[in-house]
Homo-oligomer: A and B are copies of this chain.
Amino acid sequence: MTTMDGPQRSRKESFFKNFFRPSDHGLADNFRLTSFVLLNLLEGFDDVHPRQQYTDNESQPTTSGINDGPVVSSCAQTTVGIGLDSAVIELKDKIHSLVQTTDFLYPLIDDPYIMGKVACANVLSDLYAMGVPDCDNMLMLAGIPMKMTDTERDVAFAQMMKGFSDEAVAGNTYVTGGDTKYSEWCMIGGTATAIVKTESVILPYGAQLGDSLVLTKPLGTQNATFAYQWYQEGGEKWDKLSGVISEDEVQEGYFTAVESMIRLNKTGASLMAKHRAHAATDITGFGLLGHANNLARHQTDPVSLVIRKLPIINGMAAVERSIGDRFGLLSGKGIETSGGLLISLPQEEAPMFCRSIKDIDGFDAWIVGEVIEGDRTAFLDKNVELVEAR
């Protein structure tokens, strides 16, 4: 049973028609980009990407104060923005600030071009979370797996880099440089930089009692990509899964996840000021609750964030239940890649914000919770509602 509307269904059909088939590019049928992260080396992390280790902030390595989510400064005195998605450095003119972020990923989907786009969207997202919609420059970082053949490198890796560059162009910015080296694992990432008026940066400190929390993309990208992988492999895992989800639903879920991951949070960023957003973050490796906790921890006021709704890609709640909430999706801890913005803004602005996202991007955004009095934590409401999203 499809829940997609007409335009989405026809985009989906076109997507699978133009799907990356290795043999169309002179590669072996069994070429898989995701195989260039050596999962078999991840003892104790059966079938799970390295990212999986970061299920929440507490589990990050003790040495890595500097990380994807919260940013720890080695020089508090010159830096605005400890704990932000991006570093914010005031320039000498005292008017402008440099806003910067860096991030890299291992492949989680097999289509190289799309993987490149996702990686770029994921990098840019940290700028967008500061209400900065315009990126001035990007650099690309790429690790070419030693084990790739020359052809695989020239075809698949080149497509991944092109996807990254094209996504930058879609964000009205450009990749002007970078660093490429051979590495054991395949990796792709980069740096995004903007120079903006300092006053235009929305620092994620100012959530107000009574604010609504808006989420601009659905959850469950990890489930959708793994479910699709298991479906493609057709082994024991798919046998189990096929009891709870149809082939059509797996394909739709995967397509929804891909469309979501390559969709830039630029629109959300550009609407933040207009709708008087007080604070925001983007949802990636720590999951909704992990990033909400980060955000809560840095608030000036004694507030907490309560999540009352989890918008989940259609079918993925069933997938997650069938594997015993193994990815943490149903408890708000599922890892996302290039997820949405979680924005704290006045209650009266929230519905219009969501409507604008829908009007401009054509996708739903949800009011998922609110800001209450508290000790700067984030938690799920006991009666948290799961809503199917697409």
| Chain A residues at the B interface, C-beta cutoff of 8 Å | 38, 41-42, 50-51, 53, 60-64, 66-68, 71-75, 78-79, 81, 84, 86-87, 89, 91, 98, 100-104, 106, 136-137, 139-142, 144, 146-147, 153-154, 157-158, 161, 165, 168-169, 174-185, 187, 189-191, 193, 195
Contacts and interface: CB of A to CB of B under 8 A. Distances in A.
Contacts of A50: 146, 181-183
A184 B184 CA distance: 6
B185 A184 contact: yes
A185 to B, nearest CB: 5
Name the residue in A42, A154, A165, A195 with the highest tally of chain B Cβ atoms < 10 Å from its Cβ: A195
Given A50-B146, A141-B141, A178 B91 contact: no
A161 B79 contact: no
Nearest to A85: B177
A102 B178 contact: yes
A75 B106 CA distance: 26
B98 A195 contact: yes
DSSP majority for the A interface?
A: mixed
Nearest to A174: B75
B79 A174 contact: yes
A161 B144 CA distance: 24
Contacts of A51: 181
A51 to B, nearest CB: 7
A101 B195 CA distance: 16
The 4 residue pairs across chains A and B that have the minimum distance between CB atoms: A71-B177, A75-B174, A64-B180, A87-B176
B73 A179 contact: no
A62 B147 CA distance: 16
Contacts of A168: 74
Contacts of A42: 146
A174 B98 contact: no
Given A182-B50, A184-B38, A193-B193, A144 B177 contact: no
A80 to B, nearest CB: 9
B183 A68 contact: no
Contacts of A41: 146-147, 184
A189 B179 CA distance: 10
A286 to B, nearest CB: 13
Nearest to A89: B137
12 contacts: A63-B158, A63-B161, A63-B180, A71-B176, A71-B178, A73-B174, A81-B176, A89-B136, A100-B191, A102-B177, A183-B187, A184-B185
A81 B175 CA distance: 12
Nearest to A148: B61
Contact of A177 (B101, B139, B142, B179): B101
Contact of A104 (B61, B141, B175, B184): B141
Nearest to A81: B176
A10 to B, nearest CB: 30
A42 B165 CA distance: 29
